[in-house]
Chain A
Amino acid sequence: MKAIRLTLSSIALPIMLWGGFAFASSNAPAGMALIDGGVFKPLFRSTADFKEVAVKPFYLDVLPVTNEQYLQFVRANPRWQRSAVKRLFADESYLKHWAGDLELGTNASPDAPVTFVPWFAAKSYAQWSGKRLPTTAEWEFAAAAGYTSADGETDVEFKRALLAWYASPAQQLANVGAGRTNYWGVHDLHGLVWEWVADFNTAMVTGDARGDTGLDRQLFCGSGSISARDVSNYTAFMRYGFRSSLKADYCVHNLGFRCAKDL
């Protein structure tokens, strides 16, 4: 085991130095990290899908949006207050852990990630802050990084930590930033909450143009799943399944968001 780690870090070190160099020369906005572009290989695809999606360099929030930050947004945009929100955009659970329209209360720590927020609100928050939601490809690309390399698949320690999180039942939400940063300097992409992406409704299609033939039948359990690109990537399976079950007005206890921005 030790030998493997040594080998890994000897590969990772030059990459880190190079990566660190890139960071130094970039002017990422406050609270955001530069994610170098690359190629995102979708975990699931039908024969008709893109094999690879090019991801252009972009900025990503280092931390998920917190209750406190969301409170500022709600103050500035009263239409997003709990009692004022239109049912079209948020279901009945909207901010239900808050004590009031403008009061967090004891169930919502100011520094914990905001949850019980719908996609519409996340999108609106991002626009309000001059940003946007990341795409699935961007989010997955950033989240695929391990602790020490842009490709977490080779990072044994990272993969083990991931599985440990996905295997453990949800508890009281921790504050943002407690988790270890990944290669890009981003916290909490795993281990805290699920996050909305701009194109969550492209995650999986049912009853589609081709009557589901050639589609992601392999999404589901059993031997069918071996046609996924990387069968050991259970956590990506779970994210795809989760996204595909969402509707844009859903407010869920463990679903928050963070923002992205073009360079």
Chain B
Amino acid sequence: MKTTLAIIPLLVVSSLPAFADSCCAAKNVPACCAKAEPAGTTLSDKSLYQTGSTWTTDANKKIKLADLKGRPQVVVMFFASCQYACPILVHDLTRIESALKPELRGKLGFTLVTFDTKRDTPEVLAKFREIRNLPAANWTFLHGADDDVLELAALLGVKYKEEANGQFAHSNVITVLNADGEIVHQLVGLGQDINASVRELEKLLINTNATLE
């Protein structure tokens, strides 16, 4: 499979150089093209990855949301010093992960975005991830500018508010994005039945299997 994938883009580029840029607009081009295409050019109307905001990961790497493209993502907004809701929310995510068949687990990402732009620096987020033994390979924590956090919350339908004691009141929403960054499922509340979310992810992971290697 790998060899085929590598050859087709080569052929497209070498035999039809003039069309290389617009390869994906053509209907009979193999699905491989999406991968060769720079992020942002083939996004659907409902893809969250259309937003241009830049984020810093817990590994101190600058990314755009579109960099998450290619595999399904489970997204929550949280803050690290949260005593009550967020630990449960993170626990819900690990429940979802362990409910998936082992061979599927590595094929999705968990992305946690902090409300607390002041205190949750990439270092704080990295520590949070380490303490909870969440592998960096598929767990990403994001820190962003206030305005971008507000916008992402708006996109996810998450409401939040900073309180006088530095805590945040916020809605608890687990969002499942497909490989293209479209919202396909949301689970609202804490400690909910995760079955529907797991089924939704399995469907996605089976469908997107081919693009993962």
User: Taking the complex as formed, is A2 at the interface, i.e. its CB lies under 8 A from any CB of chain B?
Assistant: no
How far is the CB of B167 from the nearest CB of chain A, in Å? 7
Contact pick for A206, options B47, B82, B150, B171, CB 8 Å:
B171
Find the B residue at minimum CB distance from A215. Answer: B169
Interface size class of B (residues with CB under 8 A): 20 to 34
| B163 near A48: Cβ-Cβ < 8 Å | yes
In A38-84, which residues have CB < 8 Å from any B CB?
46, 48-51
CB 8 Å contact bits of B144-186 with A (1 = contact, 0 = none): 0001001101110111111111011111100000000000000
Task: Decide: A206 near B159, CB < 8 A? Known: A86-B50, A87-B45, A88-B45.
Answer: yes
User: Taking the complex as formed, is A32 at the interface, i.e. its CB lies under 8 A from any CB of chain B?
Assistant: no
Contact pick for A201, options B46, B50, B153, CB 8 Å:
B153
In B130-151, which residues have CB < 8 Å from any A CB?
147, 150-151
Per the bound structure, the CA–CA distance linking A89 and B147 in Å amounts to 16
Per the bound structure, the CA–CA distance linking A87 and B44 in Å amounts to 9
Task: Decide: A205 near B165, CB < 8 A? Known: A86-B50, A210-B84, A248-B154.
Answer: no
Contact pick for B164, options A48, A199, A210, A215, CB 8 Å:
A48
How far is the CB of B88 from the nearest CB of chain A, in Å? 10
How far is the CB of B42 from the nearest CB of chain A, in Å? 13
CB neighbours (8 Å) of A120 from chain B are 151, 154
CB neighbours (8 Å) of B168 from chain A are 209
Task: Decide: A49 near B150, CB < 8 A? Known: A204-B159, A208-B171.
Answer: no
Contact pick for B150, options A88, A201, A204, CB 8 Å:
A201
How far is the CB of B177 from the nearest CB of chain A, in Å? 12
| B158 near A208: Cβ-Cβ < 8 Å | no
Report the number of A-B residue pairs with Cβ-Cβ less than 8 Å.
Answer: 86
Per the bound structure, the CA–CA distance linking A123 and B154 in Å amounts to 12
CB neighbours (8 Å) of A34 from chain B are none
| B164 near A209: Cβ-Cβ < 8 Å | no
Interface size class of A (residues with CB under 8 A): 20 to 34
| A205 near B48: Cβ-Cβ < 8 Å | no
CB neighbours (8 Å) of B32 from chain A are none
| B169 near A199: Cβ-Cβ < 8 Å | no
How far is the CB of A184 from the nearest CB of chain B, in Å? 25
Contact pick for B163, options A49, A88, A119, A207, CB 8 Å:
A49
CB 8 Å contact bits of B83-107 with A (1 = contact, 0 = none): 0111000000000000000000000
Task: Decide: A207 near B155, CB < 8 A? Known: A49-B164, A86-B45, A202-B160.
Answer: no
User: Taking the complex as formed, is A229 at the interface, i.e. its CB lies under 8 A from any CB of chain B?
Assistant: no
CB neighbours (8 Å) of B165 from chain A are 48
User: Taking the complex as formed, is B30 at the interface, i.e. its CB lies under 8 A from any CB of chain A?
Assistant: no
CB neighbours (8 Å) of A215 from chain B are 169
| A247 near B45: Cβ-Cβ < 8 Å | no
| B50 near A205: Cβ-Cβ < 8 Å | no
User: Taking the complex as formed, is B38 at the interface, i.e. its CB lies under 8 A from any CB of chain A?
Assistant: no
How far is the CB of B59 from the nearest CB of chain A, in Å? 27
Find the B residue at minimum CB distance from A48. Answer: B163
Per the bound structure, the CA–CA distance linking A87 and B183 in Å amounts to 12
Per the bound structure, the CA–CA distance linking A214 and B1 in Å amounts to 57
CB neighbours (8 Å) of A248 from chain B are 151, 154-155
In B42-57, which residues have CB < 8 Å from any A CB?
45-48, 50
User: Taking the complex as formed, is A203 at the interface, i.e. its CB lies under 8 A from any CB of chain B?
Assistant: yes
User: Taking the complex as formed, is B188 at the interface, i.e. its CB lies under 8 A from any CB of chain A?
Assistant: yes
CB neighbours (8 Å) of B153 from chain A are 201
List 11 A-B pairs, Cβ < 8 Å: A46-B169, A48-B163, A48-B164, A49-B163, A50-B163, A201-B160, A203-B159, A208-B172, A209-B85, A209-B86, A209-B172
Query: Can you list the 9 inter-chain pairs with the closest CB atoms, starting with the nearest?
Result: A248-B154, A209-B85, A48-B163, A208-B169, A87-B45, A202-B161, A205-B169, A50-B164, A86-B45
Given contacts A49-B163, A210-B84, A211-B85, 16 further A-B contacts (CB under 8 A): A48-B163, A48-B167, A48-B169, A49-B161, A49-B164, A50-B162, A88-B155, A120-B154, A198-B147, A202-B160, A205-B161, A209-B169, A209-B172, A210-B169, A248-B151, A248-B155
A residues bordering B, Cβ < 8 Å? 46, 48-51, 86-89, 119-120, 123, 198-199, 201-211, 215, 244, 247-248
